[in-house]
Amino acid sequence: MIRILWPGKTKNPELRRLIADYVQRIARLSNLELIETKEARGLREEAAERIKAKEASDLQSRLKNDFLVCLSDQGKEMTSEEFAQWLQRHLETNSRPLTFLIGGYAGIDDRLLRRADEVLSLSRMTMSHELSRLVLLEQVYRALTQMKGWPYAK
Protein backbone atom coordinates (compact mmCIF):
# COMPACT_ATOMS: atom_id res chain seq x y z
CA MET A 1 0.00 0.00 0.00
CA ILE A 2 1.30 3.41 -0.99
CA ARG A 3 -0.25 6.50 0.56
CA ILE A 4 0.50 10.10 -0.40
CA LEU A 5 -0.57 13.00 1.78
CA TRP A 6 -0.43 16.72 1.13
CA PRO A 7 -2.27 19.78 2.40
CA GLY A 8 -4.75 21.47 0.09
CA LYS A 9 -5.98 20.82 -3.40
CA THR A 10 -3.76 21.34 -6.43
CA LYS A 11 -4.85 24.67 -7.85
CA ASN A 12 -3.09 24.57 -11.23
CA PRO A 13 -5.51 22.81 -13.65
CA GLU A 14 -2.74 21.46 -15.90
CA LEU A 15 -0.94 19.92 -12.92
CA ARG A 16 -4.26 18.54 -11.60
CA ARG A 17 -4.84 16.78 -14.92
CA LEU A 18 -1.32 15.29 -14.97
CA ILE A 19 -1.58 14.25 -11.31
CA ALA A 20 -4.89 12.48 -12.02
CA ASP A 21 -3.26 10.68 -14.95
CA TYR A 22 -0.38 9.37 -12.82
CA VAL A 23 -2.74 8.39 -10.01
CA GLN A 24 -4.67 6.22 -12.51
CA ARG A 25 -1.47 4.70 -13.86
CA ILE A 26 -0.14 3.88 -10.39
CA ALA A 27 -3.47 2.45 -9.25
CA ARG A 28 -3.17 -0.20 -12.00
CA LEU A 29 0.16 -1.34 -10.54
CA SER A 30 -0.22 -0.90 -6.78
CA ASN A 31 -2.71 0.00 -4.08
CA LEU A 32 -2.62 3.78 -3.88
CA GLU A 33 -4.38 6.21 -1.58
CA LEU A 34 -4.08 9.94 -2.21
CA ILE A 35 -5.17 12.17 0.67
CA GLU A 36 -5.53 15.92 0.44
CA THR A 37 -5.82 17.41 3.92
CA LYS A 38 -6.80 20.88 5.07
CA GLU A 39 -4.64 23.73 3.90
CA ALA A 40 -3.88 26.53 6.36
CA ARG A 41 -5.81 29.62 5.30
CA GLY A 42 -5.96 33.18 6.48
CA LEU A 43 -2.30 33.38 7.48
CA ARG A 44 0.33 35.49 5.80
CA GLU A 45 3.51 33.96 4.43
CA GLU A 46 5.48 35.54 7.30
CA ALA A 47 3.65 33.15 9.64
CA ALA A 48 5.32 30.10 8.05
CA GLU A 49 5.80 28.28 11.36
CA ARG A 50 2.13 28.72 12.28
CA ILE A 51 1.10 27.57 8.80
CA LYS A 52 3.25 24.43 9.09
CA ALA A 53 1.96 23.70 12.61
CA LYS A 54 -1.66 24.11 11.56
CA GLU A 55 -1.26 21.84 8.54
CA ALA A 56 0.74 19.30 10.57
CA SER A 57 -2.19 18.68 12.92
CA ASP A 58 -4.43 17.40 10.14
CA LEU A 59 -1.61 15.53 8.41
CA GLN A 60 -0.55 13.85 11.66
CA SER A 61 -4.10 12.72 12.39
CA ARG A 62 -3.96 10.59 9.21
CA LEU A 63 -0.87 8.69 10.33
CA LYS A 64 -1.03 5.47 12.30
CA ASN A 65 1.70 2.87 12.02
CA ASP A 66 2.81 4.20 8.64
CA PHE A 67 6.37 4.10 7.38
CA LEU A 68 6.57 7.86 6.93
CA VAL A 69 8.67 9.43 4.19
CA CYS A 70 8.77 13.23 4.28
CA LEU A 71 9.91 15.11 1.21
CA SER A 72 12.29 17.94 1.97
CA ASP A 73 15.06 19.75 0.18
CA GLN A 74 17.22 18.67 3.15
CA GLY A 75 16.51 14.97 2.56
CA LYS A 76 18.51 12.15 1.02
CA GLU A 77 18.85 12.25 -2.74
CA MET A 78 18.53 9.18 -4.96
CA THR A 79 18.68 8.47 -8.65
CA SER A 80 15.51 7.06 -10.20
CA GLU A 81 17.11 3.61 -10.23
CA GLU A 82 18.08 3.85 -6.55
CA PHE A 83 14.57 5.00 -5.70
CA ALA A 84 13.08 2.04 -7.60
CA GLN A 85 15.30 -0.37 -5.67
CA TRP A 86 14.44 1.36 -2.38
CA LEU A 87 10.70 1.22 -3.16
CA GLN A 88 10.87 -2.44 -4.15
CA ARG A 89 12.74 -3.38 -0.94
CA HIS A 90 10.21 -1.48 1.14
CA LEU A 91 7.13 -2.94 -0.55
CA GLU A 92 8.54 -6.48 -0.33
CA THR A 93 9.79 -6.41 3.25
CA ASN A 94 7.76 -3.88 5.23
CA SER A 95 4.19 -4.60 6.28
CA ARG A 96 3.54 -1.00 7.32
CA PRO A 97 1.80 1.27 4.79
CA LEU A 98 4.33 3.42 2.94
CA THR A 99 3.26 7.04 3.30
CA PHE A 100 4.84 9.93 1.45
CA LEU A 101 4.20 13.38 2.86
CA ILE A 102 4.60 16.56 0.82
CA GLY A 103 4.29 19.81 2.74
CA GLY A 104 2.41 22.89 1.66
CA TYR A 105 4.05 26.03 0.36
CA ALA A 106 5.57 26.76 3.79
CA GLY A 107 7.09 23.28 4.07
CA ILE A 108 6.74 20.51 6.67
CA ASP A 109 6.52 21.07 10.41
CA ASP A 110 9.55 19.90 12.42
CA ARG A 111 7.51 17.44 14.50
CA LEU A 112 6.55 15.55 11.31
CA LEU A 113 10.14 15.61 10.09
CA ARG A 114 11.26 14.15 13.44
CA ARG A 115 8.57 11.45 13.21
CA ALA A 116 9.67 10.48 9.68
CA ASP A 117 11.31 7.13 9.06
CA GLU A 118 13.01 8.64 5.99
CA VAL A 119 13.46 12.15 4.63
CA LEU A 120 13.95 12.26 0.87
CA SER A 121 14.68 15.05 -1.56
CA LEU A 122 13.34 15.07 -5.09
CA SER A 123 16.03 17.53 -6.16
CA ARG A 124 18.49 20.03 -4.80
CA MET A 125 16.65 22.57 -6.91
CA THR A 126 13.70 24.39 -5.41
CA MET A 127 10.31 23.59 -6.94
CA SER A 128 6.77 24.47 -5.98
CA HIS A 129 4.92 22.12 -3.64
CA GLU A 130 2.36 21.53 -6.42
CA LEU A 131 5.05 20.52 -8.91
CA SER A 132 6.63 18.28 -6.23
CA ARG A 133 3.35 16.34 -6.14
CA LEU A 134 3.61 15.54 -9.84
CA VAL A 135 7.33 14.72 -9.68
CA LEU A 136 6.79 12.27 -6.81
CA LEU A 137 3.93 10.53 -8.62
CA GLU A 138 5.98 10.26 -11.81
CA GLN A 139 8.91 8.74 -9.90
CA VAL A 140 6.66 6.25 -8.10
CA TYR A 141 5.14 5.24 -11.43
CA ARG A 142 8.59 4.96 -13.02
CA ALA A 143 9.77 2.77 -10.13
CA LEU A 144 6.72 0.50 -10.30
CA THR A 145 7.13 -0.01 -14.05
CA GLN A 146 10.82 -0.88 -13.53
CA MET A 147 9.78 -3.40 -10.88
CA LYS A 148 7.46 -5.00 -13.46
CA GLY A 149 10.23 -5.05 -16.06
CA TRP A 150 8.33 -2.70 -18.34
CA PRO A 151 10.24 -0.27 -20.53
CA TYR A 152 10.01 3.40 -19.55
CA ALA A 153 11.44 6.31 -21.49
CA LYS A 154 14.65 7.80 -20.10
Span 3-60, pLDDT tens digits: 999 999 999 999 999 999 999 999 999 999 999 998 887 667 677 888 888 899 889 9
HSE-CB at 60 with a 13 A cutoff on CA atoms is 15
DSSP state of 39: P
Distance between CA atoms of 134 and 130, rounded to whole angstroms?
7
Helix (H, G, I), strand (E, B) or coil at 29: coil
Residue 71 amino acid letter: L
Which domains, ranges and CATH numbers included, belong to the chain?
A: 2-148 (3.40.1280.10)
Let me know: does 77 contact 119? Beta carbons within 8 Å. Answer: no
Mean pLDDT computed over every residue of the chain: 92
Kindly state the average pLDDT of the residues 124-150.
94
Distance between CA atoms of 2 and 13, rounded to whole angstroms?
24
For 4, 17, 100, 147, the CA distances from 63, given in Å and listed in that order, are: 11, 27, 11, 27
| pTM of the model as a whole | 0.92
Distance between CA atoms of 66 and 115, rounded to whole angstroms?
10
Span 66-116, pLDDT tens digits: 999 999 988 999 999 999 999 999 999 988 999 999 999 899 999 999 999
Share of the chain above pLDDT 70, in %: 95
Question: Residues near 34 by Cβ (< 8 Å), separated by ≥ 6?
Answer: 3, 4, 23
Distance between CA atoms of 15 and 6, rounded to whole angstroms?
14
